């Protein structure tokens, strides 16, 4: 049996690349070995921090109802429905072991593609797709829209509306515009096809807001150019009193500020700041968001809100180690009550505020 000293000696001889592979392997073994029980206990604590509550009706009078496959079941005295600690969570009704969910969580932290996640975890590509959005649906519920206050920097990000996906099995789907064809002779190819200039209804507006404390909002608010009513719909009840909005020169901000009584500081085109006010933080956030989204090679608009929350979540934990991020993602996604079913994917629509 090799000694610790001999193992250390072998590690030193491996070089940097080999040592990194060993480190990743050990980290994976330790994470999968210790996280299963730890994550389960944390989910229980977070979900039922104020006592057992029925995930179906919200009633707090519940009692134990035996065990099934080693899992404790409960029954609600009000609606008479039974549930477990993971009912209405991404993992609910899954036949896969929790270790696979932990490994998938780690893959998401690393930003792997759906196909790469499937290969690493040992699941099919469709299952990998469903798991990704089960995670993200739950994180979206957990994080909510949020609030901002103080000095708030605001900027709009635009994404081309996309109907990406397999619609063959959805007989009711009708694309609301002419399809964008690429490289097809005798048809409207990418060379001949003229895109609408500027901002059009074929682009989705995502409003991004960040304050100096680090609170973030990223919400789909409309298609095309935003109006002051879109800003009111997003910010009403979610912005602190005596806050100051720092924006570009878009006219909708002026009308919104007048109606809501918020102080407005607009940075004129060509300038970087006005005194102590600037939009450099939100510009940096916007650049990171665009670069991050580019790696996914276009996202269907109906899933765009999930990706906005995914990026927002990553910003909150960008200084944490990957192992901690993996744990946080798994615990937080399973703390919230979210029961996305497979049939829901077929009828899903874009989520606007």
Averaged pLDDT for residues 239-250? 94
Q: Exposed (0-12), middle (13-18) or buried (19+): which is 300, by Cβ within 10 Å? A: middle
Length of the chain: 353
* Domains defined for the chain, CATH in brackets: 151-328 (3.30.420)
Give the model confidence (pLDDT) of 88-107 as tens digits. 999 998 989 888 999 999 99
pLDDT at res. 182: 67
Phi, psi for 149 (deg, rounded to 5): -165, 175
| Mean pLDDT value across residues 140-163 | 95
Q: What is the mean pLDDT of residues 178-198?
A: 57
Torsion-angle region of residue 298: left (phi > 0), alpha (psi -120 to 50) or beta? left
Of 262 and 194, which is predicted with more confidence?
262
Report the chain's mean pLDDT, rounded to a whole number.
Answer: 88
91-128 residues labelled b (16+ CB within 10 A) or e (exposed):
bbebeeebebbbbbbbbbbeebebeebbebbebeeebb
H or E segment to which residue 223 belongs: strand 216-223
Please compute the mean of the pLDDT values over residues 217-244 and round it to a whole number: 96
Q: Of 18-22, 66-70, 181-185, 222-226, where does mean pLDDT reach its minimum?
A: 181-185
Tell which wins on pLDDT, 188 or 76: 76
283-329 pLDDT, tens digit per residue, is 999 999 999 999 998 899 999 999 999 999 999 999 998 889 999 99
What was the pLDDT predicted at 9?
Answer: 81
Q: Of 69, 108, 26, which Cα lies nearest the Cα of 333?
A: 108
Using the predicted structure, report yes or no on whether residue 160 has a pLDDT greater than 60. Answer: yes
pLDDT in tens, 10-54: 888 888 888 778 877 776 666 666 777 888 889 889 888 888 899
**Given a cut of 60, is residue 124 above it in pLDDT?**
yes
Would you give the end-to-end CA distance of the chain in angstroms? 62
Reported as a pLDDT band with limits 50, 70 and 90, residue 339 is confident
Lowest-confidence segment of 11-20, 56-65, 77-86 by average pLDDT: 11-20
Token match 């670069």: residue? 291
């Amino acid at each position: 049996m090799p000694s610790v000293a001999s193992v250390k000696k072998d590690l030193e001889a491996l070089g940097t690349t080999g040592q990194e592979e060993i480190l990743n392997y050990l980290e994976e073994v330790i994470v999968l070995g210790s996280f299963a029980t730890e994550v389960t206990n944390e989910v229980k604590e977070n979900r039922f921090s104020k006592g057992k509550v029925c995930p179906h009706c919200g009633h707090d009078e519940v009692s134990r109802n035996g065990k099934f496959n080693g899992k404790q079941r409960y029954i609600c005295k009000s609606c008479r429905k039974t549930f477990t600690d993971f009912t209405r969570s991404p993992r609910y009704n899954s036949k896969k072991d929790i270790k696979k969910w932990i490994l998938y969580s780690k893959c998401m932290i690393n930003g792997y593609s759906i196909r790469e996640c499937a290969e690493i975890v040992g699941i099919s590509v469709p299952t990998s797709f469903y798991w990704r959005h089960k995670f993200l649906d739950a994180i979206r519920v957990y994080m909510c829209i949020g609030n901002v206050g103080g000095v708030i920097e605001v900027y709009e990000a635009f994404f081309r509306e996309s109907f990406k996906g397999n619609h063959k099995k959805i007989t009711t789907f009708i694309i609301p515009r002419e399809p964008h064809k690429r490289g097809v002779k005798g048809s409207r190819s990418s060379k001949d096809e003229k895109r609408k200039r500027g901002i059009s209804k074929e682009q989705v507006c995502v409003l991004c807001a960040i304050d100096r404390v680090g609170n973030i909002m990223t919400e789909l608010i409309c298609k095309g150019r935003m109006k002051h009513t879109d800003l009111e719909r997003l910010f009403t009840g979610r912005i602190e009193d005596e806050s100051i909005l720092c924006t570009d020169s878009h006219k909708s901000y002026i009308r919104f500020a007048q109606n809501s009584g918020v102080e407005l500081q607009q940075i004129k085109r060509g300038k970087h700041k006005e005194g102590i006010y600037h939009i450099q933080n939100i510009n940096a956030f916007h650049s990171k968001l665009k670069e991050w989204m580019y790696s996914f090679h276009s996202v269907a608009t109906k899933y765009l809100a999930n990706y906005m929350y995914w990026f927002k979540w990553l910003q909150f934990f960008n200084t944490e180690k990957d192992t901690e991020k993996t744990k946080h993602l798994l615990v937080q996604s399973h703390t919230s009550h979210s029961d996305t079913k497979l049939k829901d994917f077929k009828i899903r629509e874009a989520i606007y505020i």
